Structure 1
């Protein structure tokens, strides 16, 4: 009875490459970004082209070229990236039928529709409050913690 929808990981993947770009601080090629995700450079080029159209990234051709951020990390929110990706669905749940004739199904759709709208509004609001600089700070904290653990471990051997 259950049908599982494939999760849309484009937002997560795009945030991943944007943080790699910021960390590098220099242009990154589609091939380098694809290696970060284990995907094809064509997928990266397609995604980055959409981000370029919305002013999130910039590209330079030729030797030393590649993709760079067009704005500072604190000037880009998760919501900006979500919108640049074409606003993929935030919730994979849906109605069995969009225009049911059955009154029971109409009642079900009404209740679910309200819940879906509330959940999407809450998630969209959260996305607009979280900046890429917040993610970069979280990464730095995790990196420092891991380095300290490894340093402590290697020191005690």
Structure 2
């Protein structure tokens, strides 16, 4: 099963946008992420609706941040991309009247819910500025390299 990488990709894009002085096109972002510009625009739409970015059309247009990276958390971005499933584990539903299946599902559901709540609480405490500081620290160690993105 392939994982949902939208959160990682949008964090990546937002940090790049935070490093830019001018708008960035969907085409450039798509090259960075090795995907299609339509996919970028579709995913960025949620971020635009939440007020984190804006898109300007035409020559010289593209995507820009509308909020500082220290005012955007991982939780904000997670919510803006429609809260994808965090865990790939699912419950068995083959024999819903089976008491063993019910006990197993109850235990798994409870623990997965607790783990999800803990993770989202941690997401709330991490800003994109924190991720940017880590990127900048890595960049200083590799001064000869940029961000190593294809674009």
The alpha carbon displacement at 1:25 in A equals: 2.7
The alpha carbon displacement at 1:146 in A equals: 1.4
Matched, 1:44 2:63: no
Q: Decide which structure has the larger Cα Rg and report it.
A: 1
The alpha carbon displacement at 1:99 in A equals: 7.7
- TM-score by length of structure 1 reads 0.88
The alpha carbon displacement at 1:98 in A equals: 8.4
Partner residue of 2:65 out of 65, 69, 81: 69
Deviations 1:72-104, CA, capped at 9 Å, x for gaps: 000000000000000001111110118811000
The alpha carbon displacement at 1:46 in A equals: 0.5
**Structure 2 unpaired stretches of 5+:** 145-151
**Distance (Å, rounded) in 1 between the aligned partners of 2:94 and 2:72:** 35
Equivalent in the alignment of 1:59:
55
Asked if 1 retains the 8 angstrom alpha-carbon contact of 2:73 and 2:126, the reply is: yes
Partner residue of 2:121 out of 116, 122, 125: 125
Runs of 4+ off more than 4 Å: none
Q: Structure 2 vs 1, CA of residues 98 and 78 (structure 1 numbering), >3 Å: closer, same or farther?
A: farther
Equivalent in the alignment of 2:149:
none
Partner residue of 2:83 out of 84, 87, 99: 87
Equivalent in the alignment of 1:153:
none
**Distance (Å, rounded) in 2 between the aligned partners of 1:135 and 1:98:** 43
- The alignment partner of 1:67 has SS state of strand
- TM-score by length of structure 2 reads 0.91
**Distance (Å, rounded) in 2 between the aligned partners of 1:89 and 1:98:** 21
The structure with more helix, counted as a fraction of residues? 1
**Structure 1 unpaired stretches of 5+:** 151-157
